[in-house]
Amino acid sequence: MTQDLICLSHLRWDFVYQRPNHLMARAARDRRVYFVEEPLVEAEASPRVDTEFRDGVLVVRPVLPEGMTPEAHLHALQHLIDEVVREQAISRPVLWYYTPMALPWTRHLARSQVVYDSMDHLAGFHGAPPELLPLEDELLASADLVFCGGASLHERMRRRHPMTHCLPSSVDEAHFRRARFVVADPADQAEIPRPRIGYAGVIDERLDLDLIRRVADERPAWQIVLLGPVVKIDPGDVPTGPNIHALSMKAYSELPAYLGGWSVGWMPFARNAATRYISPTKTPEYLAAGLPVVSTSIHDVVHPYGDRGLVRIADSASDTIDAIERMLAGAVPPPHDVDAFLAGMSWDRTWRAMAQLLDTIDETARPEVGPPRESGHARRQVPLEVA
């Protein structure tokens, strides 16, 4: 049996379904996987962990009370993760990091391998803690493998670690291909006129809100559909208007039904520190859904999608309007070209490549252990006393 895997993530499992979810769900097919989220802070909480099975993965959510000193906060998290390891009989797991911020309360754990899967340049986000970059340096010094979610991240990392591999985010093509055969809109989209220009994803500092506003103002007959949660920005800053429809966050399972009713998939990303290294998963998802796609000039979209004529690149409002008008008039890439490109992509293939690289690292004997322990409950809490 392969080594258990403890994944330390800055994203919650039930947030937008993306790279960590896809990879950990596949990892769980042949090993025990523990997805440890950043702690929740509650006013009257006693330190504890909440657990829940999702897609074969045991999601572990530390909960801490308000008002703890930094030292007590760190001690509590160390104690909670130690209790999970002890209770689950985890021995020398793979420690898989999405955030270096988890390092202070996990660096003491015995492990077989350390993996840093760099899917975002977190230090480029507004409000990033100053200790993030020093912790990333420490994580790189201890990592056996570094995976990068796109070419820009790989360029940033490849000189910093000898075992850095570019494994871009992929697509569940069969899931999004269902959008090509949708016959009925979801209820909250059904009454929206066409053409619909849609964006699905997190609405945050990475979006060019002014670009969205200007395109909506200059083409009032176009309907702008925004799917996704508003995060880290003032909701009042999100553009509004009679032809802008913010339909909130949708479950991953619902996305094909929404995308199937759009005319164009849009990626109106700003060009700033938060987007410098992004490799949007929605690019192949839109294409698999059968949508023509317009994007601003994000490096990992321009190369390879723009270079191959699969996505139109436009930054200004006038260029965006021109690109969308051309697509609405039928100037779209041949479906055969799109499908031929997507045929080389899959999350299964990405995980297999990662697992093969993990297997190349020398290990001691692997313990034979059973599935994650949940004591027969779909959800439970483990209260823990912290000194």
pLDDT, tens digit (0-9, with 9 covering 90-100), for 204-241: 999 999 999 999 999 999 999 999 999 999 999 999 99
For the cut 70, the answer to whether the pLDDT of residue 162 exceeds it is yes
Half-sphere exposure of 179 (CA within 13 A, CB side): 27
**Model pLDDT, residue 194:** 98
Exposure string for 116-145, b = 16+ CB within 10 A, e = fewer: bbbbbbbbbbeeeeeebeebbeebbeebbb
CATH class of 173-342: alpha beta
Fold held by 5-170+346-383: Rossmann fold (3.40.50)
**Model pLDDT, residue 169:** 84
| Average pLDDT for 75-85 | 97
For the cut 80, the answer to whether the pLDDT of residue 382 exceeds it is no
Q: For residues 290 and 180, give the distance between their C-alpha atoms in angstroms, rounded to a whole number.
A: 6
Pairing state between β 312-313 and 293-295: parallel
**Pick from 316, 298, 318, 317: which is nearest to 307 by CA?**
298
Q: Give the Cβ contact number of residue 251 at 10 Å.
A: 9
pLDDT band at 362; cut points 50, 70, 90: low
Contact 364, 59 (CB under 8 A): no
Exposure string for 298-318, b = 16+ CB within 10 A, e = fewer: bbbbeeebbeeebbbbbbebe
Look at the block and give the residue holding tokens 């945050």.
Answer: 204
Q: Is the peptide bond before 195 cis (omega within 30 degrees of 0)?
A: yes
**Pick from 157, 5, 164: which is nearest to 91 by CA?**
5
What is the pTM (predicted TM-score) of this model?
0.92
pLDDT band at 371; cut points 50, 70, 90: low
Domain 5-170+346-383 matches domain 173-342 at the CATH topology level: yes
For the sheet with 264-267, list strands across it: 244-248, 223-227, 196-200, 264-267, 293-295, 312-313
Look at the block and give the residue holding tokens 């006013």.
Answer: 43
**Pick from 147, 108, 179: which is nearest to 27 by CA?**
147
Non-local (6+) Cβ contacts of 199 within 8 A are 207, 212, 224, 225, 226, 227, 228, 265, 266, 267, 268
pLDDT band at 299; cut points 50, 70, 90: very high
**Model pLDDT, residue 129:** 92
**Model pLDDT, residue 45:** 86
Question: What rounded mean pLDDT belongs to the chain?
Answer: 93
Q: For residues 269 and 260, give the distance between their C-alpha atoms in angstroms, rounded to a whole number.
A: 22
| Average pLDDT for 341-355 | 96
Contact 5, 93 (CB under 8 A): yes
pLDDT, one tens digit per residue, over 172-202 is 999 999 999 999 999 999 999 999 999 999 9
**Model pLDDT, residue 364:** 41
**Model pLDDT, residue 1:** 57
What are the residue ranges spanned by the domains of the chain? 5-170+346-383, 173-342
**Model pLDDT, residue 370:** 53
**Model pLDDT, residue 126:** 82
**Model pLDDT, residue 383:** 40
